[in-house]
Structure 1
Amino acid sequence: MVLILCITEVVSWGSLYYSLPAAVGAISADTGWTIVTITACFSAGLVVSAVVGVAVGRILDRWGPRIVMTAGSVLATAGLLALANATTVTGFLAAWLVIGIAQAAVLYQPAFTVIARHYGADRDKPMLILTLAGGLASTIFVPITLGLLTALDWRTTYLVLAGVLAVVTIPLHLLLPTTRDTKAQPVAPERGRQGPVVKSRQFVFLAAGITVMTFSAYAVTLNLLPLVVERGYSAAVAATAFALVGVGQVIGRIGLTVLTRTVRPQHRPFVVGVFVAVTLALFAVIPGPVWMIAVVSLLAGAARGALTLVQATAVPTRWGNARLGELNGVFSAPITAATALAPVAGAALATGLTSYPVAAAVFAGVAVAGAVCAFFADRQSSRPTRNPSQGELADEGQRLAATDT
């Protein structure tokens, strides 16, 4: 299962997400549409992905990953085909909206749910492997897309990407289990009621905290090129710094996995949030030299990578696996939307303040607020929140069965 998801996540992220940054210049040159317009259509698709993620999660709970992720691959293929044939901005936008629906069914959120339900308390290592593989998507598909664009126009390039997506991901997703094949970890009955969970102070504060942290991290790192250039460095140095953020994500995911041995799950969001805030503050106060910019870029990438794993494990760690798809969908919806809006917000704030480093300082403060919010999320009661053990859950189930009898 992990191998299947690693392959499909790389191809899905590469074709449905990282292909556009590589192709946006060619699309703009051919169509005359501005880069802002093209990027806005892409961001609209991400917002749709966030909105429909809750419904996709419910379907995932009911029908299992085989149906959901296979259907998502088919819809993603159709969206890429529509994208390749779009002749107007309206058609281009409609294609990205279709792709956004597909993203909700094939990217990290459903994959995290599948891993958490299948492996239960042993989920950390499989999730690390999955996110490490997913982190290679940009490394693999940005050069592939650029290479295709040297020989083909952007429309034919997307036709090729649609073909690759269909040939690789559809048959592999058909090998995933159905609901009947999935060995879901037992959960205490009160954990199975989705309504009270999503309305709880803990859920709301934790989702808000991680959303704010993610928004801040992406607002700065996705605007790293103009920030570094503003410091007086060349575009080549800025591009290298941006690439190091991707390398740092791998380091951060491995580092968080090591951290889990000493830091309790309830403390990890706060620790990672503080780390995010520190790295953003470093962008604000360190003007150079080049090697320092490189180090800070690596650290910022590590913070982003750790944040991805914190998000992936937040729900199953606290509320078990009952209706995990739906809970994950609700939890990740604002995070996905924040990721979509962060680049524009970062550029807008920097423009308003006439300085990208000053904007980074502001976002560092916002990240601190997110970390504090996450800290208080797990301090809602005098008793620490924890996951019951398998034995405790079994004993609880037997007690309730005896009571019902």
Structure 2
Amino acid sequence: MPISHERRTIVTIALGTAQTLSWGSTYYLPAILAVPMAREFGISTDWVYGIFSVAMLMTAFMGPAVGRRIDRFGGRGILMVSSLVFATGLGLLGWSPNLPVFIAGWLIIGLGMGMGLYEAAFAALTAIYGTGARNSITGITLLAGFASTVCWPISAFVDAEMGWRATCYVWAVAHLVLALPIYVLMIPKELGEHTRPEASAAATDGAPLWNRQMILLAFAFAATWITSTAMAAHLPRLLEDAGATKTAAIAAAALVGPAQVAARVLEFSVLQRFHPLLSARLASITHPIGAAAVLLFGAPAAYFFTIIHGSGNGVMTIAKGTLPLAIFGPYGYGRRQGLLAAPSRFGQAASPFVFAVLIEHFGVGALMFTSGLCVAGFIAMMLLRTESSALERASV
């Protein structure tokens, strides 16, 4: 039975809310809690980011299998399980009496990230709406773009008042009382025609797993994801190294969320008329422009940098969901997303730790590394075609 426009809007708002919580309580957590965590366990913050990197590495191995399951059964069950896994991992972090248990908590969170972040949400929407998922993908990223803006101040406040362990407990409870009910009550069980086994088989039989388009896309996504992960983990610290005060650095970093949302509104209202490859190309070059301003002018350029970086990151997040759909179609979308995301996840796993080391040695000059990656990603985007052959459209 067709899903009404009103129902689709409800689903989009619900998923966007749950994604805001999922990102803010996991991916964005070390930026606020790494220092107090490291202090309590008597280790350096680099080690905390290293543990976080290992947790993220697990998502690279899980992606294709999770995506394949969503292609077949839809995303409702996977997303429900992710809430339970997130709550377990965060609860274990809060309780951790020693370093091994602390590491185990992060590894469990890594499992949840493999099941409960954007790739799974995008695949869930595509399983329901097929080629019509673009608006819904944009919608959930509009809401989840506020993850850092909302969750960084909450984490900082709870940490200051009750400590980092209480912060982890608060987020664990939030997954149980907010995200889990959303997935249980709001995600439709109905799936689109393209999810039927005979339809997917007809579209994918005999097709190669990788082709030129897939390789270019995977590289471009990896370059931008590595950069966004480095910024999510280190942005306040980086701005302080550029000369900003701690208060100004946090205030500037908090603008990433609104900038992401503003750019997504622009994509939804204006750029949606064009192929998503145009949006992706524009987004991939914004970080180097902002980084150049910080390297040249220091702290006075902090707000400009966070706004333009956030804008590009916001649009690119949408492109990571809509561009594979536009180029390859909905058949096997979840598995394809898992494959495309795997190189990104490997890069992301190393990004917080590597970038921490780069900041230690080069300070704000570490931005030259992320800028070079984004320029390379822009070149890959320029080499992509807006249309694929029939075989490429079927490849998963």
Q: Specify the alignment match of 2:278 in structure 1.
A: 267
Q: Specify the alignment match of 2:312 in structure 1.
A: 303
Q: Specify the alignment match of 1:400 in structure 2.
A: none
One-letter code aligned to 2:337? N
Q: 1:318, 1:386 within 8 Å by CA — same for their partners in 2?
A: no
1:27-58 alpha-carbon deviations (Å, 9 max, x no partner): 33433333222222222111112221221112
Equivalent of 1:316 in 298, 322, 325: 325
Q: Specify the alignment match of 2:5 in structure 1.
A: none
1:356 equivalent to 2:377? Answer no
Q: Distance in 2 between matches of 1:191 and 1:142?
A: 46
Q: Specify the alignment match of 1:131 in structure 2.
A: 141
1:90-133 alpha-carbon deviations (Å, 9 max, x no partner): 22112211111111211111111122333334333322221121
Query: How far has the Cα of 1:76 moved from its partner?
Result: 1.9
Q: Specify the alignment match of 1:97 in structure 2.
A: 107
1:135-171 alpha-carbon deviations (Å, 9 max, x no partner): 2222333333333334434334423322221122222
Q: Distance in 1 between matches of 2:359 and 2:271?
A: 36
TM-score by length of 2: 0.84
Query: How far has the Cα of 1:60 moved from its partner?
Result: 1.5
Q: Which residues in structure 2 correspond to 1:28-107 (within 5 Å)?
A: 28-107=38-117
Q: Distance in 1 between matches of 2:162 and 2:251?
A: 27
SS of the residue 1:174 aligns to: helix
Q: 2:46, 2:356 within 8 Å by CA — same for their partners in 1?
A: no
Query: How far has the Cα of 1:319 moved from its partner?
Result: 1.2
Query: How far has the Cα of 1:7 moved from its partner?
Result: 2.3
| RMSD between superposed Cα atoms in Å | 3.0
Q: 2:83, 2:116 within 8 Å by CA — same for their partners in 1?
A: yes
1:2 equivalent to 2:12? Answer yes
Q: Distance in 2 between matches of 1:143 and 1:347?
A: 22
Query: How far has the Cα of 1:218 moved from its partner?
Result: 4.4
One-letter code aligned to 1:78? T
1:339-394 alpha-carbon deviations (Å, 9 max, x no partner): 34323333434555x3523x323432332211111221327xxxx4389xxxxx9x
Q: Specify the alignment match of 1:385 in structure 2.
A: 388
| Uncovered stretches (5+) of structure 1, i.e. residues with no partner | 388-392, 394-405
Q: 271-280 vs 220-229, which deviates more?
A: 220-229
Q: Distance in 2 between matches of 1:208 and 1:121?
A: 24
1:287-338 alpha-carbon deviations (Å, 9 max, x no partner): 46x2x43223211111111111111112211111112111111111222333
Q: 1:210, 1:374 within 8 Å by CA — same for their partners in 2?
A: no
Q: Specify the alignment match of 1:205 in structure 2.
A: 216
One-letter code aligned to 1:199? W
One-letter code aligned to 2:328? W
Q: Which residues in structure 2 correspond to 1:1-20 (within 5 Å)?
A: 1-20=11-30
Q: Distance in 1 between matches of 2:89 and 2:205?
A: 32
Q: 1:213, 1:371 within 8 Å by CA — same for their partners in 2?
A: no
Query: How far has the Cα of 1:197 moved from its partner?
Result: 5.0
Q: Distance in 1 between matches of 2:306 and 2:179?
A: 33
Q: Distance in 2 between matches of 1:218 and 1:102?
A: 17
One-letter code aligned to 2:297? I
Q: 1:15, 1:165 within 8 Å by CA — same for their partners in 2?
A: no
Q: Specify the alignment match of 1:165 in structure 2.
A: 175
Q: Distance in 2 between matches of 1:20 and 1:119?
A: 35
Q: 1:197, 1:203 within 8 Å by CA — same for their partners in 2?
A: no
One-letter code aligned to 1:132? L
The percentage of counterpart residues that share the same residue type is: 24
1:154-189 alpha-carbon deviations (Å, 9 max, x no partner): 3344233222211222222123233xx112458987
Q: Specify the alignment match of 1:280 in structure 2.
A: 291
Question: 1:51 and 1:22, CA in 2 relative to 1: closer, same or farther beyond 3 A?
Answer: same
Question: 1:40 and 1:111, CA in 2 relative to 1: closer, same or farther beyond 3 A?
Answer: same
Question: 1:261 and 1:31, CA in 2 relative to 1: closer, same or farther beyond 3 A?
Answer: closer
Equivalent of 1:148 in 142, 146, 158: 158
One-letter code aligned to 2:364? Y
Q: 1:84, 1:154 within 8 Å by CA — same for their partners in 2?
A: yes
TM-score by length of 1: 0.83
Q: 92-101 vs 36-45, which deviates more?
A: 36-45
